[in-house]
Structure 1
């Protein structure tokens, strides 16, 4: 049954098509970068001086940024990032990002194709603050597409 109310974005999961994958690998604080833009090329028409035509050339996708609290648990994603960024062994991975409703059922699903790690960052350590250390993973990917969810 469809619902015309706007969807909230606080309950979601991120699943990497990686082996090994541990329970910590699906839990993220935030996901940003599901954005596609169209690159255009300007064309000047002879005799028309008021404007230029903008012709579409290709789509471009923004980098995907995943954030989560750092834990002492083993992480397949951290091992994947280390292998790429330190050993220069890249194994592109696909991701499935799912927005969930209050019952944990999928409402919207996006498939992200051929992601590779661009950076891995740890938040600040500060003896004067009692804050969680944030792990930030930035990925470059080829494209994303929405996967239809039956019933929504």
Structure 2
């Protein structure tokens, strides 16, 4: 009987253009959907053909504690008409029994650029961390197995 491996979603890194840029607290939107069309064949009433059309990629959202202006400046470049597309990877890490980390999975993202930036919610008297998020459009991703 085959055993399956499960990975914790709590230890990951985000790289842009092969440089680890920041520690993010959350990544969402690793999603793909195959759009289809139906074709009804004349004289065949038993079923309808469903044919693949194109792949649709969801936007990816990165969330982190406010640390510097790097994400804002990348977004601002898009707003000002100078879209800076970047190759990215999101790496999920696991740990050995001795606590050593190793790469479990990696998602390589093609030509990502920011389309939305959300600043922190500020509240007087709060001790909560200030978070920012950036939403990225891209041209596809590939999932690659790590050393697990």
Q: Same fold (TM over 0.5)?
A: yes
For residue 38 of structure 1, the aligned residue among 34, 52, 74 is 34
Q: How does 1:1-152 map to 2 (within 5 A)?
A: 4-17=4-17, 25-49=21-45, 51-71=47-67, 74-85=68-79, 87-102=80-95, 103-127=100-124, 129-149=126-146, 151-152=147-148
TM-score (normalised: structure 2): 0.84
Q: How many residues align?
A: 142
The gaps in structure 1 that reach 5 residues or longer are: none
Offset at residue 96 of structure 1 (A): 1.0
Distance 1:105 1:26 in 2: 18
RMSD between aligned alpha carbons?
Answer: 2.1
Q: Using the alignment, how far apart are the partners of 2:48 and 2:133 within structure 1?
A: 41
